[in-house]
Amino acid sequence: MFTLVVMQYWLIKSEPDAYSIDDLASDKVEPWDGIRNYQARNFMRDTMRVGDKVLFYHSQVKPPAVVGLAEVASEPYPDPTAFDPNEKYYDPKSDPANPRWILVDMRYVAHLAEPVTLPQIKDDPKFDGMMLRQRGARLSIQPVDKKHYDRVVKLGGL
């Protein structure tokens, strides 16, 4: 007997002055650490799997935009920044024996030829139902339907 694994699609947000698509392209693979929202953590811990496709979104810029593609490169594991008091994301309540915070590694895939901006996504009815379009949808990790992923890739020139 075997288990059928269905590929998932995601959008991850990062402020480009903190960590950009160019940084990921240079690093090739990077731990996606510092996630301190329980819902985003649960997506990483419970649903993300190696090979899942990822839209890399630059937030806190004008205009915010999907700028590249990545993929999940590891199974979930404890976020070491939670245990180090010298780290920005240190959490004294996180116990290494029962970690509160986890991460996955992200692998660079490609830059989009053209960024796909938030206004484009909001104005395109083909993105109806996409979490990014919802008012107050501020999660740094969001599931994305395959049709929305494919639309971004097409609009991005890949």
Which H, E and C letters describe 13-76, residue by residue?
EECCCCCCHHHHHHHCEEECCCCCCHHHHHHHHHCCCCCCEEEEEECCCCCCEEEEEEEECCCC
Average of per-residue pLDDT values in the chain: 95
In whole angstroms, give the CA distance from residue 75 to residue 73.
Answer: 7
Give the sign of the dihedral formed by CA 136, CA 139, CA 144, CA 149: positive
User: Of 40-49, 133-142, 145-154, which range is least confident?
Assistant: 133-142
Write down the pLDDT at residue 23. 98
The answer to whether the predicted template modeling score (pTM) of the entire model surpasses 0.75 is: yes
Mean pLDDT, residues 25-38 taken together: 96
Domains in the chain, ordered, with CATH? 9-78+104-153 (3.10.590.10)
3-class secondary structure, 10: strand
pLDDT digits (tens, 9 = 90+) for 67-93: 999 999 999 999 999 999 999 999 999
